[in-house]
Amino acid sequence: MKKIKTIYKLIAIAIIIAIAVFLYESSVEIFSHKATITALSVGDKAPNGNFTLLNGSTVNVNNYKGKTILIWLMTTWCSSCAQSTATIANNMTFFKDHKVKVFEIENYKDLGQNGMAIGPFIYYYAHNSSGANEIVGGISSKNLTFTYNPKGYLDIYYLIAPNGTIYYINGSPVVTINYLKQEIMSLES
């Protein structure tokens, strides 16, 4: 009986190790070359990159040159991102009034973890908000995630000015929404 319990314990440990290795290798595959990419800074020209909208069309950052855009790369398994989705939706009137197009974009392969698909995620966490239908959801290409999120943050956003430069960078809109609003208003000055 003692041998059987020991065998079960060893099997359980082996399974846990196998799962841990799988998760590690998944994240390594996604960010295997992140060390070669430098982080973006305020004042940099916003690099071009593709993402796929929920309707299936592929667009790129340069499609929105001449407009103020917010590109928020996030993960759908992050609780702060869920709360931030509701925060963004609750503030869509502000974004619309200041002519800011908001893109909530799922990081490439959700940073190697399983999460809800971006469309249902936005609907679930923002559906009680008047601005829920104004958030433009999308899925990031590998290149866009590597370029805008080389360190693999759960979420990071960029306010991009009409001239195509990065005006403000931060994360977790649920916590930083007031700073973001201030930056949007200063951009207009």
* Residue in 95, 112, 117, 114 with CA at minimum distance from that of residue 173: 95
Determine contact, residues 142/52, Cβ cutoff 8 Å: no
Extents of the domains making up the chain:
1-30, 37-188
Q: Does domain 37-188 have CATH number 3.40.50.10680?
A: no
For β-strands 58-60 and 68-74, DSSP reports them as unpaired
From first to last of its 189 residues, the chain has per-residue pLDDT tens of 666 766 666 666 666 665 554 544 444 455 554 445 578 999 999 999 999 999 999 999 999 999 999 999 999 999 999 999 999 999 999 999 999 999 999 999 999 999 999 999 999 999 877 677 789 999 999 999 999 999 899 999 999 999 999 999 999 999 999 999 999 999 988
Angle of the 118-126 helix axis to the 79-90 helix axis, nearest 10 = 60
DSSP character at residue 45: B
